[in-house]
């Protein structure tokens, strides 16, 4: 199968306006897949959609949606309509609060849970079900190394990213037998506008070793079939910043899944 055969004819990229989301959209379109681009800023999406159409001749639909809103999923479902989605990229979810848990209103944390957990889960349920029925497709969840442990200033953020990690691993085990690929792409420090803005607010210099958005998108798409986890900058059998390697997590999931399937199949 070509990339477009496996993941087309449409891809939905949530958080597509800048950084890694923009890079994903351009690289997916370069493979001949039409794109639904989702973010909050209409003008930025319009510029990106025109660039993609000019470069690759594919179709682009934009949807101005706040992914933290309680009705975000309903707007996404309406924007996608009857289009056949073969690839869902969940890229939104940078931590822009940057305070201790008790120093921000609880509504700020509820928004973060909506954006990083509930909207992601609902989209995966919709698109994953359609992909399973067709016997092909892919789900790519862009995560953060904070998923492996909490810390001050990241209590809610690391919690939501830990949910995404475990959720994505479970989806991989569930959907792999149906020809649907699932990957948690766990990133370290990446050169995005959101990260640069965070550094600027704190008066910190930009580190020299940031990953580039284009490289992130390239690696993520190339490893999509090798899920469920890829830890940025690490080999498959190397733990690095994670407690365990991607290979050992895969083996653990397979073992637990086999035991779980055996239990529930007898019900």
Position 242 scores a pLDDT of 87
User: How would residue 208 be classed by pLDDT, with cut points 50, 70 and 90?
Assistant: confident
DSSP three-state, residue 179: coil
pLDDT at 73 over 60: yes
pTM, whole model, 2 decimals?
0.93
- The domain tally of the chain equals 1
Residue 3 lies in a domain: no
Residue 130 lies in a domain: yes
Mean pLDDT of 200-212: 82
Distance CA 174, CA 227 (A): 12
Residue 131 lies in a domain: yes
User: How would residue 188 be classed by pLDDT, with cut points 50, 70 and 90?
Assistant: confident
Strands 85-90 and 10-14 come out as parallel
Q: Supply the CATH number for residue 146's domain.
A: 3.40.50.720
Distance CA 40, CA 63 (A): 8
Listed in sequence order, the residues at least 6 apart from 94 whose beta carbon sits closer than 8 Å to its beta carbon are 192, 194, 195
8-12, 84-88, 119-123, 187-191: which has the minimum mean pLDDT?
187-191
Distance CA 9, CA 94 (A): 28
Residue 4 lies in a domain: no
Distance CA 129, CA 97 (A): 33
The 10 Å Cβ neighbour count of residue 105 is 10
Residue 65 lies in a domain: yes
35-39, 240-244, 259-263: which has the minimum mean pLDDT?
259-263
Structural domain boundaries, residue 31: 10-264
Residue 228 lies in a domain: yes
User: How would residue 204 be classed by pLDDT, with cut points 50, 70 and 90?
Assistant: confident
**Residues assigned a catalytic role:** 157
pLDDT at 267 over 60: no
Position 221 scores a pLDDT of 98
């Amino acid at each position: 199968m070509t990339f477009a055969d496996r993941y087309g004819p449409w891809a939905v990229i949530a958080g597509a306006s800048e950084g890694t989301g923009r890079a994903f959209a351009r690289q997916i379109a370069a493979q001949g897949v039409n794109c639904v681009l989702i973010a909050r800023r209409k003008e930025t999406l319009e510029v990106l959609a025109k660039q993609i159409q000019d470069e690759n001749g594919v179709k682009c639909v934009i949807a101005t949606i706040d992914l933290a809103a309680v009705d975000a999923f309903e707007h996404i479902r309406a924007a996608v309509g009857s289009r056949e989605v073969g690839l869902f990229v969940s890229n939104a979810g940078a931590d822009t609060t940057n305070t201790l848990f008790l120093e921000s209103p609880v509504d700020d944390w509820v928004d973060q849970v909506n954006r990083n957990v509930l909207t992601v889960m609902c989209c995966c349920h919709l698109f994953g079900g359609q992909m399973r029925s067709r016997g092909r497709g892919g789900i790519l969840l862009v995560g953060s190394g904070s998923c492996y442990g909490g810390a001050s200033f990241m209590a809610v953020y690391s919690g939501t990213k830990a949910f995404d990690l475990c959720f994505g691993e479970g989806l991989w085990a569930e959907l792999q037998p149906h020809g649907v690929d699932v990957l948690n792409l766990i990133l370290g420090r990446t050169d995005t506008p959101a990260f640069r803005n965070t550094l600027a607010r704190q008066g910190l210099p930009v580190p020299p070793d940031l990953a580039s958005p284009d490289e992130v998108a390239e690696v993520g798409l190339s490893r999509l079939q090798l899920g469920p986890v890829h830890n940025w900058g690490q080999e498959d059998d190397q733990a690095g910043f994670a407690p365990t390697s991607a290979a050992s997590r895969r083996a653990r999931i397979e073992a637990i899944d086999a035991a779980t399937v055996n239990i529930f199949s007898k019900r």
